[in-house]
Amino acid sequence: MRLELKEITKRFPGVLANDRISISVDRGEVLGLLGENGAGKTTLMNILSGIYRPDSGEILIGGTVRNFHDPHQAIDAGIGMVHQHFQLVPVFDVVESVALGAETVTGWLGTFGRAAARRRVVELSEQHGLDVDPDAKIEDLPVGVRQRVEILKALYRKSDILVLDEPSAVLTPAETLDLFKIIRGLTAGGTSVIFITHKLGEVLEVADRITVLRRGTVAGTVKPADTSREELATLMVGRDVELLVSKGAAKPAGVVLSVKDVLVMDDRLQMAVKGVSLEVRAGEIVAVAGVHGNGQTELVEAIVGLRTIDSGEIVIAGENVVHASPRRVADLGVAHIPEDRMRDGLIAGMTVEENYILDSYHRAPHSSHGWLHAREVAAAAEQGVRDFHIQTPSIGTIASSLSGGNQQKVVVAREFSRPVKLVVAAQPTRGLDVGSIEYIHTRLVEQRDAGAAILIVSTELDEVLAVADRIAVMFDGRIAGILEGASATREAVGILMGGGV
Amino acid sequence: MTSVVGAARALEMGEAERRGLQAARIRGAVIALLGVAGLWAARGAFNVAATFSFWLLEQGGAAWSITTTVGMLWLVAGSVAIVVGGLQAGVGARFPWRQSLFVLAPLYVAAILGALLDGKVANMTGVFAGSLELAVPITLGALAGILSERSGMLNIAIEGKFLVGACAGAIAASITDSAVAGVLVAVLCGMAVGYMLAWLGIRHQVDQIIAGVVINIGAIGITNFVFLRVLAKNTWLNTPPTIEKIKIPVLSGIPVVGPLLFSGTPYLYFTLAVVVFLSYMLFRTRWGLRLRASGEKPSAAATVGIDVIRIRYGAMLLAGALAGLAGSYLSLSSAGSFQMGMSAGRGFIALAAVIFGAWNPLGAFGAALMFGFSDAIQSLMSILGVDVPPQLLNSVPYIVTIVVVAGLVGRVRGPAAAGQPYTQG
Amino acid sequence: MTIWRRTILPALMPLLAVFTAFVVGSAFLFITDIENLKHFPGDPLGTILAGLANIGKAYSAMVIGAFGVPAKVAAAMSSSDPKVIAGAIRPITETLVASSPLIFTGLAVAISFRTGVFNIGVEGQFILGAMGATVAVLVFRDVPKPLLLILAMVIGTLSGALWGFIPGFLKARTGAHEVITTIMLNYVAAQLVLFGLRSEFLKPVGSTLPISKVLSTIVRVPLIFALPAIRLHYGFVMALVMAVLVSWFIFRSTKGFELRAAGFNLMAARYAGINAGGSIMLAMALSGGLAGLGGTLEVLGTVGQMSNDLSSGFGFNAIALALLAGNRPGGVVAAALLFGALRTGGGLMQVKTGIPLDLLFFVQALVIMFVAAPALIRSIYRMKVQNADGVAAQ
């Protein structure tokens, strides 16, 4: 074996991220590392690349035990990481980016041997069919090519173990196919590749062996020829803990949110939502399931007015909101629980009370004629704290000193504090403990039963299956399929999430 | 956000191109209009002589001069502007308009100068030599700014380093009776201030703007204090030997160029050398590559094993040394003693030169020359008794910088990570 | 426990910062006391004691200069002679006079910092406000006086507001960094004032100095006490009123809420439907307007004549002051009173002991540094972070 990880255990406060994980990869082999978000893949790779140190277990390279104290040592040991978020300097050209940190120099001034570096880059690029222009600036390159520059970086450092972290997350299907071709070329030359993903189709196509991680442990190791999408999906999502939410059958009424043929671009001007149509009725919970980065974020931002759509139509409660401001959308009765609540949902430096009125401060009874009404605001905030069981010393406490669950509750309490027709909740329970999760789910069901339309975006299969009346699975900017919540199975959702069939 | 979305609407790359074309057309129209204005100004100005003379070797010595008319100057400037404007509008975004400004600007400056002089003879060797001398501290300060910002540290404390350098240099030179010792002490003090800025920004994560403000206010306070309390009463501490001009044999005998470039102070020669040297170091060496990576994307530098913090400390020390040196120039060469507040905002003009020169040593030197030129013109005007309010010329560097920062004339972009705190690991 | 946490702890750090800055300042006083240090080789102990005594003299002169001589104040209590009373209260009124512009500029900086914008341009906004008021007074000199005063204040405020709005607008629209633009605009403002003071319309007949005609003969801000040599005018009262208004605005108005939200977290503010660009422009205009009004009252109240050195660094003091005050209007008033006392007291110190007032600039820089890097103070005094949950107390 070229690389072996034996019994790796890594514990963070309150979380067992890696629990006695063992994986191995041989010369010229592609190991697919499959798992959901939070299965422990990233932690494992950070251990491998010297960023974290394991609590126990060992790393063997070529049969000898190696301990990495910093990324440098991992690089020297031949491990080349291609991070999901590229580590390239946008204003550098390809040669500079590739050589950075491993420059060859001449003379007493340390002149960078650019010509030699350029020759190597061209050589490596041709040898492995990477087709990269050595003189192009990084910021002018499409994402797919940037990834190849990252691969070049690893090859330039003579890495023989290449780790690709969610490499296809940012690629178009065509670019993904090119990547597979490159990977096969590399392995033919003897390089070992660890391919981290949660897309079933990809791992079946490119891997020689697949190790599936679930909740920090190895759920199984299989060969693509001996397995099926269904088996992989089962291994990946498991069957154990079922989240239970007591809820009656939905009584869907009129359409509250209607999304028609919507196209949305992301910040890099790539098409992220490629023609989505979706309806959410009053009194039902629709969950948009899918792996992160398949256009859900952009779809949500478009619905709540933070992102202008490219074409199509979004109607909320009978009003076309394509050009509406976030304030106008909120005023229509839309509650929005954003995905990154510390960044977007909460103002950490402000008090619980102030956060509670963050989107209603401008309306009666919280204010009139431009002046806040301290007594009414305090009364409302006290009420919210009581109703939502927010654990806080007082409403004057700074939000950042609350626990994550209570911060989330502040956001939920605020959003539900006004008459709600539509709830848009993105990853509403990410990072919360089980108690808080149940609590939030119950509140969502309450809102549904009170007649609101609920749209949840979640990457957590458990959550989707537990609360949704209907499940729309998004893959690559499109709705891959819509399932009834009651009859949907993990396998069915998992396959759709992986872009299958 | 709206701009991103706006660009998205035109689908793919089309929008950026369309905008580029539109901007090019507007730019072309503005330049052409300037040209028309130039031609308009030419009417009736053909009877006003414009004479620019150049000393060949020394002040009052043999001179060579060009005589034309103000009308002619306007005619040439205006016509060139119309051609450039037309080309810009026609060719579009690909037209090298920035470069064309380097042709256009001198023509307009000459025409405006001619018009202001209204027939008086201007000696340009003196003006250019003055520009160079005035450009020395600004260039050195700008290089300090470039080094720190390229490494990712915002540096608004150049002014403070000037003052500290000037004060320390004057005292040290007076005590030791050696100008060289004064320069060395000024450099060391500059480095100490640079280190302090880095220490506050990196070790204590103080906002780099606040840290800069601290240093500027503190430097004004301490140098004024030392001047009033110590130097005013003990003048022997503030009568340093000065650094005089050195004529370089042979080269200083070249007409015009000799008195300009080869008859200056050692500071001038050093500055010219450092501009070239740093350009090379920044863009051609491993050190420069790593420095720029630290200022653009420190996380990328760190993942390939580069010690970003160390690089930043190093850059700040070097920057401090250069700014301290510039300070010593003020007290040891230009004025001959330390005076309160003698940097007079030059540290901020250096900051302007950093931006105007697009964080590039050569560009900053060009900007410093331009700012020095506007200073030199002003003293020429007052010598010749031309009544132009000096305040207007004085404001030019500042207004130009605002225009550049606001991206009104094409955006220049600074190092992406400058000013952002960075924590390792 | 609660009182400790609520009131004493927040004030502790700024107080320690000021104290430490003065200790360092004293050290500088000592090592620059050349006359005294000459005796050091012969009599080290005596030199140290004499040095300390000199520092003591300096600081006591400062206290007397700022607050007056206790005996005189006591005598004035039972006296009805206006001269005696004026002599006793003059130092303290001068302190209030010196704090007025500091309150305005401090509030100006605080309001911009609250919105997350660095307004380094308060100095320029201050003098342009004063310039606007000067021009207004000379243009409308025939307008009835109360009206003229109000008109001048409005125009002065608007001049400052415009000078603040420009960088705000540029930041919101083009992303131009406000620190760079405000620094540059400070210099442009200084040049504009110099330029304006060259004009025949503004300058006194025959003068070559950068000063304006005397304005106090046309209009001036009314004095609070009709006592000889007491300059305290209603500008100080306006400063206090403004502090209350700013406090109300920041903490009680919906606009103020928006500014604070944008200042803390631009993304979350946007998600909550707040117009971030508008908040930046508003904050900068308000900030500039406050500075402009401060300049107006300084020129029409305290000085009575515009000059290019009207502001002796009020705009830069203000940055230290706002940081020291934690950007709270009440804190700004307290810090401005402190700085005002230092300025007037420093004046007497300079006269009596020859120690330059500029020491205070240095001390101020140290104060900002210690406030901005609380870890420094903590390490000096071996303080532990108080909160158990690891969140630093504000």
Q: For residue range C260-316, list pLDDT tens digits in order.
A: 999 988 888 988 889 888 999 999 999 999 999 999 999 999 999 999 989 888 988
Say if residue B224 is in the same domain as residue B325.
yes
pLDDT in the model for residue C1: 47
Q: Is the peptide bond before A365 cis (omega within 30 degrees of 0)?
A: yes
* Distance between A399 CA and the closest CA of chain C, angstroms: 11
C-alpha distances in Å from residue C72, one per residue of C65, C95, C96, C217: 13, 17, 19, 32
Count: domains in chain B: 2
The helix (H) or strand (E) run that includes residue A256 is strand A255-265
* pLDDT string in tens for chain B (425-residue length): 333 333 343 343 445 566 677 778 888 888 899 899 989 988 878 888 888 888 777 777 777 888 888 888 999 999 999 998 888 888 877 777 777 877 888 888 888 888 888 888 888 888 888 899 889 999 999 999 999 999 999 998 999 999 999 999 999 999 999 999 999 999 999 999 999 999 999 998 888 888 998 899 999 999 999 999 889 888 899 999 988 888 888 888 888 788 888 888 899 999 999 999 999 999 999 999 999 999 999 989 988 888 899 999 999 999 999 999 999 999 998 888 999 989 888 998 898 889 888 899 999 999 999 888 888 888 888 888 777 778 887 888 888 888 877 776 555 677 888 877 777 54
pLDDT tens string C19-32: 999 999 899 888 88
- Structure tokens, A73: 């040592």
**Partner residue facing B398 (CB), from C118, C188, C368:** C188
B contacts of A114 (beta carbons < 8 Å) = 284
Say if residue A177 is in the same domain as residue A30.
yes
B contacts of C376 (beta carbons < 8 Å) = 204
pLDDT band at residue A173 using 50, 70 and 90 as cut-offs: low
User: Which other chains touch chain A, taking contact as 3+ CB pairs less than 8 Å apart?
Assistant: B, C
- How big is the CA angle at C260 (ends C259 and C262), to the nearest 5 degrees? 65
pTM: 0.85
Distance CA C258, CA C114 (A): 10
A contacts of C252 (beta carbons < 8 Å) = 371-372, 374
Coil, strand or helix: which one is B68? strand
B contacts of A103 (beta carbons < 8 Å) = 286, 289
Say if residue B181 is in the same domain as residue B82.
no
Coil, strand or helix: which one is A307? coil
pLDDT in the model for residue C130: 97
Only one residue has tokens 């969140």, namely C391
On the 0-12 / 13-18 / 19+ scale of CB atoms within 10 A, A72 is: middle
Distance CA A167, CA A180 (A): 10
Distance CA C55, CA A310 (A): 71
pLDDT at C200 over 70: yes
- Structure tokens, C331: 């804190």
pLDDT at A98 over 60: yes
* A348 close contact with B: CB closer than 8 A: no
Any domain includes B410: no
Name the closest residue on chain B to residue A112, using Cα atoms.
Answer: B285
Any domain includes B254: yes
A-contacting residues of C 132-191, CB under 8 Å?
none
Say if residue A231 is in the same domain as residue A315.
no
Per cent of chain A over pLDDT 90 is 45
Distance CA A367, CA C252 (A): 9
* C41 close contact with B: CB closer than 8 A: no
On the 0-12 / 13-18 / 19+ scale of CB atoms within 10 A, B63 is: middle
* B304 close contact with A: CB closer than 8 A: yes
Distance CA A388, CA A415 (A): 12
On the 0-12 / 13-18 / 19+ scale of CB atoms within 10 A, B99 is: exposed
B-contacting residues of C 282-301, CB under 8 Å?
none
**Partner residue facing A370 (CB), from C255, C260, C271:** C255
Any domain includes A248: no
Say if residue B166 is in the same domain as residue B86.
no
Say if residue A106 is in the same domain as residue A226.
yes
pLDDT in the model for residue A268: 65
Say if residue A161 is in the same domain as residue A289.
no
Any domain includes A440: yes
User: Which other chains touch chain B, taking contact as 3+ CB pairs less than 8 Å apart?
Assistant: A, C
Mutate to test the interface with B, among A53, A68, A69, A91 (most CBs of B within 10 A): A91
pLDDT in the model for residue B247: 85
CB C190 within 8 A of CB C298: no
- How big is the CA angle at A396 (ends A391 and A402), to the nearest 5 degrees? 35
Say if residue B173 is in the same domain as residue B289.
yes
Distance CA C154, CA C384 (A): 49
Say if residue A168 is in the same domain as residue A198.
yes
pLDDT tens string C58-117: 889 989 989 888 888 888 878 888 888 888 889 999 999 999 999 999 999 999 999 989
Residues 6+ apart with CB under 8 A from B164: B189, B190, B193, B219, B222, B223, B324, B327
Any domain includes B419: no
Any domain includes A338: no
CB A411 within 8 A of CB A345: yes
C contacts of B235 (beta carbons < 8 Å) = none
Q: What is the ipTM of this complex?
A: 0.84
Say if residue A200 is in the same domain as residue A135.
yes
pLDDT in the model for residue B303: 85
pLDDT at A153 over 90: yes
Least trusted range by pLDDT, from A246-250, A392-396, A484-488:
A246-250
Any domain includes A362: yes
Residues 6+ apart with CB under 8 A from B249: none
Instruction: Note whether B215 contacts C365, CB cutoff 8 Å.
Output: yes
Only one residue has tokens 């919105």, namely C115
Q: From the centroid of its chain, how far is CA C250?
A: 19
Any domain includes A114: yes
Any domain includes A245: no
Distance CA C310, CA C298 (A): 8
Name the closest residue on chain C to residue A331, using Cα atoms.
Answer: C273
Say if residue A352 is in the same domain as residue A493.
no
Say if residue A35 is in the same domain as residue A156.
yes
- Structure tokens, A297: 């974020």
Q: From the centroid of its chain, how far is CA B410?
A: 19
Q: From the centroid of its chain, how far is CA C223?
A: 21
Distance CA C202, CA C225 (A): 30
Distance CA B157, CA B151 (A): 15
Instruction: Note whether C360 contacts B233, CB cutoff 8 Å.
Output: no
Positive or negative, the Cα torsion across C118, C124, C128, C130?
positive
Choose the final residue of a domain: A210, A237, A264: A237
Instruction: Note whether B206 contacts C174, CB cutoff 8 Å.
Output: no
Say if residue B251 is in the same domain as residue B370.
yes
Any domain includes B124: no
* A361 close contact with C: CB closer than 8 A: yes
Say if residue B216 is in the same domain as residue B315.
yes
pLDDT band at residue A431 using 50, 70 and 90 as cut-offs: low
pLDDT band at residue A491 using 50, 70 and 90 as cut-offs: confident
**CATH number, domain containing residue A184:** 3.40.50.300
CB C297 within 8 A of CB C238: yes
Say if residue A76 is in the same domain as residue A201.
yes
Where are any strands of DSSP class E within C169-243?
211-214
**Partner residue facing C181 (CB), from B214, B226, B402:** B402
C contacts of A345 (beta carbons < 8 Å) = 268, 271
Name the closest residue on chain C to residue B2, using Cα atoms.
Answer: C173
Say if residue A264 is in the same domain as residue A365.
no
On the 0-12 / 13-18 / 19+ scale of CB atoms within 10 A, A67 is: exposed
Choose the final residue of a domain: A382, A399, A418: A418
Say if residue B197 is in the same domain as residue B323.
yes
Say if residue B310 is in the same domain as residue B185.
yes
Residue A418: DSSP 8-state: S
pLDDT in the model for residue B18: 67
**Partner residue facing B226 (CB), from C32, C360, C365:** C32
CB C212 within 8 A of CB C153: no
Any domain includes B168: yes
Residues 6+ apart with CB under 8 A from C230: C86, C89, C90, C93, C223, C224
- Structure tokens, B289: 């590559």
C contacts of A350 (beta carbons < 8 Å) = 260-261, 264
Going by their DSSP bridges, the two strands A367-368 and A319-320 should be labelled as unpaired
pLDDT at C393 over 50: no
pLDDT in the model for residue A166: 83
C contacts of B402 (beta carbons < 8 Å) = 170, 176, 180-181, 184-185, 188
pLDDT at A287 over 90: yes
Say if residue A49 is in the same domain as residue A178.
yes
- Structure tokens, A305: 């007015």
Any domain includes B281: yes
CB B282 within 8 A of CB B291: yes
pLDDT in the model for residue A152: 94
* Distance between B320 CA and the closest CA of chain A, angstroms: 21
Say if residue B390 is in the same domain as residue B296.
yes
**CATH number, domain containing residue B149:** 1.10.3470
Tell me phi and psi for residue C153, to 5 degrees.
-65, -40
C contacts of B219 (beta carbons < 8 Å) = 365
Q: In what order do the strands lie in the sheet with A79-82?
A: A79-82, A161-165, A192-197, A30-34, A209-214, A217-222
What value does the mean pLDDT take over residues A449-465? 88
C237-263 as b/e: b if 16+ CB within 10 A: ebbeebbeebbebbbbbbbbbbbbbbb
- Structure tokens, C286: 């308000």
pLDDT at A123 over 50: yes
Any domain includes A244: no
Mutate to test the interface with C, among A347, A361, A414 (most CBs of C within 10 A): A347
Say if residue B95 is in the same domain as residue B171.
no
Of the candidates B324, B313, B316, the one whose C-alpha atom is nearest the C-alpha of residue B159 is: B324
Choose the final residue of a domain: A366, A400, A418: A418
What value does the mean pLDDT take over residues A112-132? 92
Instruction: Note whether C174 contacts B394, CB cutoff 8 Å.
Output: no
Q: What is the mean pLDDT of chain C?
A: 88
Tell me phi and psi for residue A17, to 5 degrees.
-75, -45
Mutate to test the interface with B, among C32, C274, C358 (most CBs of B within 10 A): C358
CB B357 within 8 A of CB B142: yes
- Structure tokens, C353: 């002991």
* B307 close contact with A: CB closer than 8 A: no
What value does the mean pLDDT take over residues C159-181? 91
CB A215 within 8 A of CB A17: no
Name the closest residue on chain C to residue B1, using Cα atoms.
Answer: C270
Any domain includes B424: no
* C38 close contact with B: CB closer than 8 A: no
Say if residue B318 is in the same domain as residue B366.
yes
Any domain includes A339: no
Of the candidates C333, C393, C379, the one whose C-alpha atom is nearest the C-alpha of residue C10 is: C393
pLDDT in the model for residue B14: 46
* Distance between B142 CA and the closest CA of chain C, angstroms: 14
CB B417 within 8 A of CB B291: no
Coil, strand or helix: which one is A250? coil
> Rg of chain B's alpha carbons, rounded to an integer?
24
pLDDT in the model for residue A241: 45
Domain span holding position B265: 133-405
pLDDT in the model for residue B7: 38
pLDDT tens string C225-272: 888 888 999 999 999 999 999 999 999 999 999 999 999 888 889 888
* Distance between C195 CA and the closest CA of chain B, angstroms: 6
Distance CA A384, CA A353 (A): 9
- Structure tokens, C54: 């000199």
Any domain includes B125: no
Say if residue B208 is in the same domain as residue B63.
no
A contacts of C253 (beta carbons < 8 Å) = 370-372
Count: domains in chain A: 3
Distance CA C282, CA C263 (A): 12
* Distance between A358 CA and the closest CA of chain C, angstroms: 6
* C267 close contact with A: CB closer than 8 A: yes
Distance CA A200, CA A228 (A): 9
Coil, strand or helix: which one is A398? strand
Coil, strand or helix: which one is C169? helix
Choose the final residue of a domain: B62, B92, B119: B119
Q: In what order do the strands lie in the sheet with A478-484?
A: A334-337, A422-426, A453-458, A285-289, A470-475, A478-484
Distance CA A102, CA C181 (A): 39
* B8 close contact with A: CB closer than 8 A: yes
Say if residue A95 is in the same domain as residue A202.
yes
Tell me phi and psi for residue B47, to 5 degrees.
-90, 0
* Distance between B358 CA and the closest CA of chain A, angstroms: 14
Name the closest residue on chain A to residue C261, using Cα atoms.
Answer: A347
What value does the mean pLDDT take over residues A383-388? 90
Domain span holding position A396: 347-418
- Beta bridge partners, C323, equal none
